[in-house]
Amino acid sequence: RYEGDVKTPTDKWMVLPQCRINNSSSPVFLQWNAISCFQDDPSAYPLESYEVLISDKTSTMADFTKVHYVESEKCFNPNESYIPYNRSVDISAYKGKDVFIAFRLTTSGTGSRGMFALDNIKVFGDATIITNNINETYDEKTVKVFPNPANDFVSVSSENNINKIEVFNLLGERIYVSEPQQTNFNIYTSDYTNGLYLIKIKTDKGETLKKINIIK
């Protein structure tokens, strides 16, 4: 989520881990939920916009091609609940390629309150995250994840308070989230299928990314 004083124009990028879109017969779609706005008055015309881009080369900004554009997504009223828009775009043209997917937020800088929320980013179709290009952040002194490989449970231990734990499968789907607010926590994995998973751990000192392998 991006939120703050937006009188100055901004150009914010979020690049996802590289994924492989396999060359199958099924169509492949990128789907996400988003809401964006940019105004002093919640009833005013929203001015925020964002782009969805793909690169089949590198994660350098110059290599990305715009595949979708949304202008004036939805007016956000801080006094009311809101439901983000459900958006999607067909990315079947990239079958057989390893790609980076990026979201780019561009704010015009004409208002005083800006907000952009992005969630539930999924690729539907035959695609997987390329785990060789995901660098784990190791901090053996403060964060430990064990056993690995695991079966029925995974223990997360930290010298600092664990604020949030998220588990992602290789499709990039978040399959588990918890906010333990403690230094030791167990994730029960008996219902998980065999394979590789990513665990993102947020503590008072920052974020750590770990890979775990479930073998039964």
**CATH number, span 2-131:** 2.60.120.200
Highest-confidence segment of 2-6, 40-44, 54-58 = 54-58
71 SS3 class: strand
Which residue(s) pair with 52 in the sheet?
A: 68, 103
Residue 39 has pLDDT above 60, yes or no: no
Categorize the per-residue pLDDT at 158 as very low, low, confident or very high, splitting at 50, 70 and 90: very high
Q: What sign does the CA torsion over 41, 42, 47, 53 have?
A: positive
pLDDT of residue 1: 43
Per-residue pLDDT band for 179 (boundaries 50, 70, 90) equals very high
Highest mean pLDDT among 11-15, 166-170, 177-181: 177-181
Looking at residue 110, its pLDDT comes to 56
Per-domain residue ranges of the chain:
2-131, 135-214
Q: How confident is the model at residue 135 (pLDDT cuts 50, 70, 90)?
A: low
- The CATH architecture annotation of domain 135-214 reads Sandwich (2.60)
Tell me, what's the pLDDT at 81? Answer: 59
Q: Which tokens is 38 given?
A: 């940019």
Given a cut of 90, is residue 165 above it in pLDDT?
A: yes
Answer whether 37's CB lies under 8 Å from 108's CB: no
Inter-CA distances, 164 with 74, 87, 116, 150, Å: 29, 27, 21, 20
Q: Which of 24-38, 106-120, 166-180 has the lowest mean pLDDT?
A: 106-120
Percent helix, strand and coil across the chain, each to the nearest 5: 5, 55, 40
Q: Give 33 or 90, the one with higher predicted confidence.
A: 90
Long-range contacts of 128-131 (CB under 8 A, 24+ apart): 128/19, 128/20, 128/22, 128/170, 128/171, 129/17, 129/18, 129/19, 129/20, 129/170, 129/171, 129/172, 129/198, 130/17, 130/18, 130/19, 130/20, 130/98, 131/170, 131/196, 131/198, 131/211
Q: How much is the average pLDDT of 186-196? A: 92
pLDDT for the residue numbered 139: 60
Total-model pTM: 0.60
pLDDT, position 109: 59
